[in-house]
Amino acid sequence: MSDCIFCKIVNGDIPAAKVYENEHVLAFLDISQVTKGHTLVIPKVHKENLFELTPETSKDLFESVPEIANALKKEFSPLGLNLVNNNGEHAGQTVFHFHVHLIPRYGKGDGFG
């Protein structure tokens, strides 16, 4: 989708700090990190949200998540990690290209929750 900011990141039209990439999936640091290492995982194909996701795209994306979580664990040594996903404006979605937030946690007062 030409006016989708995450498609532009996939296409290299706007920069992002990449954390992980394979044929189907891209992970990059959130531009406004709620905690250190806050990462977004997206399918390279444009799907608006969970309601549009195919089983195949879902499989591709979630297969990559443990490896990305472990890379974040190694890099940032968090105490835990939240997986967050907003679907639809009323659920807090602001970018309408499916994404999962990986939010490393560092204990009380770390800025999230």
Sorted by sequence, the CB contacts under 8 Å of residue 29 that are 6+ apart come out as 16, 17, 19, 37, 38, 39, 40
Has 99 been annotated as catalytic? yes
Q: Name the DSSP letter for residue 90.
A: G
State the Cα–Cα distance between residues 79 and 73, nearest whole angstrom. Answer: 8
Sites for ligand 5GP among residues 1-20 (CB under 6 A)? 5, 16
Pull the structure tokens for residue 102: 């990986």
Strand partners of residue 64: none
* Least separation in angstroms between CB 105 and Zn ion: 28
98 binds ligand 5GP (CB under 6 A): no
82 binds ligand 5GP (CB under 6 A): no
6 binds Zn ion (CB under 5 A): yes
Which residue in the set 31, 59, 79, 83 belongs to the binding site for ligand 5GP (CB under 6 A)?
A: 31
From 90, 97, 99, 101, active-site residue: 99
Name which of Zn ion, ligand 5GP, none residue 1 binds, using a CB cut-off of 5 to 8 Å depending on partner kind.
Zn ion
